[in-house]
Amino acid sequence: MPLPFDPIEEARRQWTDHGWGAVDAMSAVTSITRAHQIVLGRINDLLHPFGLTFSRYEALVLLTFSREGALPLGKMGSRLMVHPTSVTNTIDRLERAGLVRRVGHPDDRRTVLAEITDDGRAIVKQATDALVEAQFGVGTLPTASLRDLDAALRDLRHDAGDFTGED
């Protein structure tokens, strides 16, 4: 049930009344955190009919974008920016669903690749169509706002060391 007031604005007022600093930063971080909850919930609701979560969807998309439809699990972890255990669990679930399979690397017997299956390609296409139709759950925001938000968060991610900015 919606509140009759904006709780983040109220936190901002209280924060200010207490004389604590970094009011704008606190408000922005709280808004980002709540927006993350909202958007992830919307995305997972859209992906549920396909038996996917956002993390499984991201893994399938990454494999779809790869030249051969297969990548080493370690490379997937670094590209998805998640712990190796998370990649293993994600691939385990996708493999049980028949959407990926593990195969040996042709040049390195120590390396295991995750390879997307034809069923995986079909599901990722259907799921992507659903996400695009729903504008990834953020369709109520104007395009200019989405671009501004993306640019601001890109700077934050760059400063955090997600990427060097070198192409």
Dump pLDDT digits (tens) for 88-119. 999 999 999 999 999 988 888 788 899 999 99
For 14, counting Cβ atoms within 10 Å of its Cβ (0-12 exposed, 13-18 middle, 19+ buried), the class is exposed
Does residue 59 sit in helix, strand or coil? helix
Going by the DSSP 8-state scheme, the letter that residue 48 receives in this structure is G
Asked, for residue 166, whether it belongs to a domain, the answer is no
Is the Cβ–Cβ distance between 55 and 111 less than 8 Å?
no
- 32-87 pLDDT, tens digit each: 999 999 999 999 999 999 999 999 999 999 999 999 999 999 999 999 999 989 99
Q: How many domains are contained in the chain?
A: 1
DSSP letters, 119-145, are: HHHHHHHHHHHHHHHTGGGTTTS-HHH
Residue 69: predicted pLDDT: 95
Asked, for residue 67, whether it belongs to a domain, the answer is yes
Q: Look at the block and give the residue holding tokens 């956002």.
A: 54
Q: By residue range, what is the domain housing residue 99?
A: 51-129
Asked, for residue 94, whether it belongs to a domain, the answer is yes
Asked, for residue 118, whether it belongs to a domain, the answer is yes
